[in-house]
Structure 1
Amino acid sequence: MTRPVDVVVIGGGQAGLAAGYHLRRLGIEFVILDTQAAPGGAWQHTWDSLHLFSPAAYSSLPGRPMPPQPGQTYPDASHVADYLTDYEKRYHLPIQRNTRVGAVRRQGDRLLVEADTGTWAARAVISATGTWSRPFLPAVAGRDIFTGRQLHTVNYRSPTDFAGQRVVVVGAGNSGAQIAADLALAGEAEVTWVTQRPPRYLADDIDGRALFDAATAHRQALNAGRTDTGGVASLGDIVAIPPVRADRDAGLLTAQPMFTRLTATSARWDDGHEAGADAVIWCTGFRPALAHLAPLNLRTPRGHIPTDGTRAVDEPRLHLFGYGDWTGPASATLIGVGRPARDAARQITELLQ
């Protein structure tokens, strides 16, 4: 049985909740389909020590300020998950859990959203599936013969899981620096941190609010045809949160250049230098989770769907945000997702009239 509805939102994390808030305010009929069994999106699956880059006051979804976490300047991931849980209850958002969307197809004036719990016929679709479910692993020589443990950022939880082990952490971004710092600070593992290029730390006083402002200014400059400001990338790659800063200043967080290959038991460089390894943690980023949109044939060879704001250029009934700056400045952040969600809801309102 196919169920008609005005809008289907695919994904119940922070982007999906922001979409739901604005759709509710505009009186639009919608449903949110989410693969998770519980609220909180990706925040319920992060490593134990993860904290936000910004204070709670600068980390809120539209309509509901995040309350501060007692004793913490920067809230931890569990506090964020609790906030998202409260958010969806507060606004009575219609979320259908344990629901995986396999495909979105065109059928006349509707988009068919095919899920493992049934099919929805929507007049518009918002895709807000994010990137957490699509970790990227680089094609490094020897990765298939390494006999130790290999895991991605999404699988890391705590330094205690690596007590007494030699761990190679790969990645020059925030996750690589934070996980290397987490392991080094605990002192339970021998840590080798490797990066493709020398780490670029942002100034110590920069947090997520400044990053959001930089991303917004970058997008506004491009939209107005002004000189490219460089955005967040011009500031650096790593936010110097307190644990990272402490390890860096203590000399515990020194990066080596990227190794050339893995052997069965080590990482090896061109000069013959080796670092023994019991585990490799790949902090090498993510790709947008867009497989459900494949039947619409919208993706470019680079994997993105061209958008005008949040709206797909070649399918105006489809909106995307929460994947990165290409779907709105800082749209993959708590503070940044509200604006593209609002814009998408307004455009959908016009479409439905």
Structure 2
Amino acid sequence: MEHADLIVIGAGQSGLATAALAPRHGFARTLVLEADEALGGAWPRYYDSLTLFSPARYSSLPGMRFPGDGDRYPTRDEVVDYLRAYAHGLTADIRTSAMVVSVIREGDAWSVRAQDGREFAARAVIAASGDYGSPYVPDLSGRAEFAGRVLHAADYRTPGAFAGQRVVVVGGGNSAVQIAAELGEVAATTLATRRPIGWLPQRPLGRDLHWWLRHTRLDIAPIRRLLEKVPVSALDDGRYRAALNRYHVDRREMFSRLTAEGIVWADGTKEAVDTVILATGYRPSFPYLTGSGVLDADGRPQHHGGIATTVPGLGFVGMEFQRSFSSKTLRGVGRDAAHVLDRLRRQTR
């Protein structure tokens, strides 16, 4: 069994930011365990055209500026390259192809076991594996009889495979809008949502929204519960709304059910549909923490600000609204990592 001061599960943005800050908080030897063969977390698996909605200057992890013009909006591949370069500069021991299957408290330390049988131990563990491995797929009435294809945005890559089809994209957030906008050029596309899309200007009064969030401190912890209740909205500098209009991508109220041939819209109209793409987000999933004592009956972690409330020495980084509006973003994970590391150090020293 290998020993470390801290084990971080996941080598995406959250895990790497945590590993970078760990030495400053008294964790001399940090071991990062990543399930995939390569670094970068979920980023390499996103659709090809994904573009950040935060400028490069607000998309950096602790200690390394995102390269290039700070006002540009980086692409998926640029983020992947940045994360891998960031990882190479860390002192942490990063192991890939190390899928964690169990994390169990034994005495005053944690025992961590990988799928291949390897075992590790540490006085503190941080789960930073994110939720992108658990796409949320709502229960769609009639799905069993639908002869078309239903897929989650997690499985979408490029529009070419849908050329000439009738496609319905479910969702009104950033991913739904981006996917529908590019599909509109090659397929008859509709956005299906439960309420009208809430458009947020990317650059209100000439400044990027993230500048306003930072300088007004609107994304800090005290108002996170209020922000959780804000309806799903899409950030746009005008290009996506223009693309939706240009390609005649309409928005309709969510359909009531699927049929063998297609869907039944809310007004009772039936229409043949080839593909339904669910841009319905993700849900927290920590299967390796089953039996750790930190998950409630529904499998959700019991924590406060990323610190487990039922067991010592266990924390989380990268969960949505963990401490703030930006907790799940490149610009926010470093702040949360520092908070969690500081408190775990106090628990385990």
Shift of 1:301: 4.6
The one-character-per-residue Cα deviations of 1:216-237 (angstroms, maximum 9, x if unpaired) are 63654359xxxx7x32754851
Q: 1:31 — aligned with what?
A: 31
Length-normalised TM-score, structure 1: 0.90
The one-character-per-residue Cα deviations of 1:234-272 (angstroms, maximum 9, x if unpaired) are 485111145413224547343100001001121112433
Kept in 2: contact 1:126–1:319 (CA 8 A): yes
Q: Distance in 2 between matches of 1:327 and 1:25?
A: 21
Return the match for 1:283 from 279, 290, 300: 279
Q: 2:294 — aligned with what?
A: 298
Shift of 1:30: 1.4
1:98 has 2:129 as partner: no
Length-normalised TM-score, structure 2: 0.91
- 3-state SS of paired residue (1:316): coil
1:134 has 2:134 as partner: yes
Q: Distance in 2 between matches of 1:74 and 1:232?
A: 25
Kept in 1: contact 2:146–2:260 (CA 8 A): yes
> How do 1:37-186 and structure 2 match up within 5 A?
37-68=37-68, 73-117=72-116, 118-184=118-184
Q: Distance in 2 between matches of 1:285 and 1:239?
A: 16
Shift of 1:161: 1.2
Distance 1:234 1:159, change over 3 A: same
Kept in 1: contact 2:199–2:233 (CA 8 A): yes
Shift of 1:175: 1.2
Return the match for 1:332 from 328, 332, 344: 328
Structure 1: 5+ residue stretches without partners: none
Distance 1:126 1:251, change over 3 A: same
Q: Distance in 2 between matches of 1:192 and 1:215?
A: 36
Kept in 2: contact 1:212–1:330 (CA 8 A): no
Distance 1:303 1:172, change over 3 A: farther
Q: Distance in 1 between matches of 2:282 and 2:84?
A: 24
Kept in 1: contact 2:49–2:75 (CA 8 A): yes
Kept in 2: contact 1:212–1:329 (CA 8 A): no
Q: Distance in 2 between matches of 1:65 and 1:108?
A: 41
Distance 1:326 1:25, change over 3 A: closer
> How do 1:245-264 and structure 2 match up within 5 A?
245-248=241-244, 250=246, 252-264=248-260
Q: 1:4 — aligned with what?
A: 3
The one-character-per-residue Cα deviations of 1:170-221 (angstroms, maximum 9, x if unpaired) are 111111111111111xx21111210121111112425562585499636543
Shift of 1:327: 4.8
Return the match for 1:205 from 197, 203, 206: 203
Aligned length: 344
Kept in 2: contact 1:321–1:327 (CA 8 A): no
Q: Distance in 2 between matches of 1:344 and 1:291?
A: 21
Q: Distance in 2 between matches of 1:303 and 1:243?
A: 39
Shift of 1:308: 2.1
The one-character-per-residue Cα deviations of 1:118-142 (angstroms, maximum 9, x if unpaired) are 1112211000010110001001101
Q: Distance in 2 between matches of 1:208 and 1:13?
A: 25
Kept in 2: contact 1:215–1:232 (CA 8 A): no
Q: 2:227 — aligned with what?
A: 231
Structure 2: 5+ residue stretches without partners: none
Shift of 1:321: 1.6
The one-character-per-residue Cα deviations of 1:266-322 (angstroms, maximum 9, x if unpaired) are 111243312321111111110112111111232335543232222111113110120
State, as a whole percentage, how many aligned pairs show the same letter.
Answer: 36
The one-character-per-residue Cα deviations of 1:22-81 (angstroms, maximum 9, x if unpaired) are 1133452110000111122111111111101121111000110100269x8211000000
- 3-state SS of paired residue (1:330): coil
Pairwise CA RMSD: 2.4
Q: Which amino acid aligns with 1:300?
A: D
Return the match for 2:337 from 341, 346, 350: 341
